[in-house]
A = this chain, B = another copy of it.
Amino acid sequence: MKVAYLGPVGSYSYEAAKRYFDKDQELVACDTIDDVFEAVEENEVEFGVVPVENSIEGSVSTTLDYLLKSQVYIEKEIILKVEHYLCAKEEKKQILTIASHPQAFSQCHDYLRKNFKQAKLIQVSSTSYAARLCAEGEVDGAICSPFAAEQNNLKILAGPINQDNNYTRFFVITKSPNFKKGDKNKTSIIFSTYDKPGSLYKILAIFNLYDLNLTKIESRPAKTNLGEYVFFVDIEGFVDEEDVSDALKVVQRKSTFFKLLGSYSVILPDE
């Protein structure tokens, strides 16, 4: 069985895939989120692993757009704690150039300003690519995950050096809607409403009526007509619960567009 993920080896998506799938699965690195979705849709792989929120490796909006237009379902949610470390090939070498993703630099801003004010920061497209550049000797240091450091035989010099406790959510996607219940479950849907005041409010009234808690709501332009929006909503609960299934039936009837993305359980980070 093959699993596509947003590469390269050592990326957070790779780490998420390793958390969920056992060793027998063949992991296939993809260059972009698009490629992961396409590999799943075209049956080249059975599963895909993509970042969906607060990622430092790719755009959440790309994932949301593909969830809207692709025929795939959410199989599982994986939450990883994102911690950045300063890594290098040798421990004593002076650090004059540091590579990382712009958002990782952003999250390590205070540490860098205090300790490496003179260093040249090289912005690259992912923290795992930064680790590879460092391993190849192109830069003196990389800001990356311990996982990426290990994959590239780098030593950890300091960390975690980021300011906030950051978490990234990943979805495992697949073509067959084979929803499995776990301890902590969520159900994700997309719907559109008429473009007039109060139409979103009327849909939320349905969730309120069935005592359902929304854990996420996000609006995005529908890209059909200007002013039309689609809403991405996550609710607590599994589709086999009566409140959930009844509420979804009414939402589907009262919205102009409706799509069930999946009902799934969540893997939380080790604390």
Q: Footprint of B on A, CB under 8 Å?
A: 31-34, 54, 56, 58-62, 101-103, 105-106, 109, 121, 123-126, 129, 164-165, 167, 196-198, 200-201, 204-205, 207-208, 211-214, 216-219, 221, 223, 231
Contact = CB atoms under 8 A, between A and B. Distances in A.
Contacts of A196: 213
Nearest to A123: B125
Instruction: Describe A's contact surface by its main secondary structure.
Output: mixed
25 contacts: A33-B106, A34-B106, A34-B109, A54-B61, A56-B59, A59-B103, A62-B103, A101-B125, A102-B125, A123-B126, A123-B129, A164-B223, A167-B221, A196-B213, A197-B207, A197-B212, A198-B208, A198-B211, A201-B204, A201-B207, A214-B219, A216-B219, A217-B217, A217-B218, A217-B231
Contacts of A121: 31
A125 B125 CA distance: 5
Contacts of A124: 123-125
Nearest to A103: B59
A165 B223 contact: yes
Contacts of A101: 125
A61 B164 CA distance: 13
Contacts of A54: 61
A117 B219 CA distance: 35
A181 to B, nearest CB: 20
A217 B216 contact: no
Contacts of A217: 200, 217-219, 231
Given A32-B102, A61-B54, A125-B101, A197 B218 contact: no
A30 to B, nearest CB: 11
Given A62-B106, A124-B124, 19 more contacts: A31-B121, A32-B105, A58-B103, A59-B102, A59-B103, A60-B60, A102-B125, A124-B125, A167-B221, A197-B208, A197-B212, A198-B208, A200-B204, A201-B207, A201-B208, A214-B219, A216-B219, A217-B217, A218-B218
Contacts of A213: 196-197
Nearest to A100: B125
Given A217-B217, A223-B164, A201 B205 contact: yes
A197 B205 CA distance: 11
Contact of A32 (B109, B125, B126, B129): B109
Nearest to A38: B109
A78 B151 CA distance: 43
Contacts of A197: 207-208, 211-213
Contacts of A123: 31, 124-126, 129
